[in-house]
Amino acid sequence: MTEPSKKYAQVQTLGQRIVNELDRESQRDTLTKWMAYRLAELMELSKASDAETAERSKGEAANLILRLWERRRKWPHGDPLQHVDAILTVLAEAEQEYPQHIEPKRGSLLGIRDQLATISKDESAFLLRAEIARYDYEFHRTYLADHGDDMEDSERKVLSWIIKTMESIQARAAAGDEECSALCGSIEERQSIVKEKLAKFASRRQAAYDAISLVDLSDPADSDVAGDDGEG
């Protein structure tokens, strides 16, 4: 097999996928539209009985396929993350990992700090679920299945993480979790559960603030001195 034929064989499937994808799109820029038509023509010529024509067409088609794939973010649906909030790409990279911490003494400022950190963590996790629940699960799942092999590793990781989170939300909803059921429901149901949960987080946070008035804010060394003076 000649070099053009080898190169074409490696990207032929991707080329057909690109032609099919762009054939469905109406909002293409002029250059991408021309390149798509040209690719379809070259792929047809690659089947020519004339060996020279077929070989030349394969070489041109392979190069054009790679150029079109590089321009895929110009397509209406060419960027797998075009509707994904940028912050989700960061969260997907971290996979929501939180550092372990030592349990502080209750009734202290560090204890209140820990309470507030827990509330913030719970609130952040809920808002993340609420955000991801808005996404079209079937669209992203199908897109990943159809184009996953051709994506960059970072793109594939983000979509995989979003889909995994969606499936977790749906599983919890199926098991009767009221919060996740609402998140998977109508827009009105999502709005209602978000307002309800945020009000509860605000209440928890206010309770932690109120507890500050019960905390001893004196210098710990003063307590030791007072204890020493009282001895004997």
> What pLDDT, on the 0 to 100 scale, is given for residue 199?
97
Alpha-carbon gap, residue 41 to 127, rounded angstroms: 49
- With respect to residue 194, please indicate whether it lies within any of the assigned structural domains: yes
Residue span of the structural domain in which 23 resides: 3-74
Q: Quick one: 109 and 65 in the same domain?
A: no
Rg, C-alpha atoms of the chain: 29
Token couple for 180: 């996740």
Q: Is 230 a domain residue?
A: no
Q: What does the pLDDT read at residue 207?
A: 92
User: Do 35 and 127 lie in a common domain?
Assistant: no
Residue 97 is predicted with a pLDDT of: 42
Q: Does 28 share its domain with 96? A: no
Question: What's the pLDDT at 220?
Answer: 59
- Domain membership of residue 80 (yes or no) is no
Classified as helix, coil or strand, 2 is coil
Distance between CA atoms of residues 20 and 8, nearest Å: 17
Residue 222 included in any domain: no
Verify that 28 and 134 share a domain, yes or no: no
Residue-level pLDDT at 204: 94
Quote the number of domains for the chain: 2
Q: Are residues 64 and 115 in the same domain?
A: no
145 in a domain, yes or no?
yes
Is residue 18 domain-resident?
yes
One domain, residues 132 and 180? yes
Residue 111: both structure tokens together: 């204890």
H-assigned helices in the chain? 3-23, 30-45, 51-70, 86-94, 109-132, 137-147, 153-174, 178-183, 187-210, 220-230
Name the residue among 39, 20, 42, 43 with its Cα closest to residue 31.
39
**Which segments in the chain show pLDDT lower than 50?**
96-102, 225-226, 228, 231-232
Select from 46, 74, 102 the last residue of a domain.
Answer: 74
Predicted TM-score of the model (pTM): 0.58
- Kindly state whether residue 228 falls inside one of the protein's structural domains: no
Whether residues 100 and 178 fall in one domain: yes
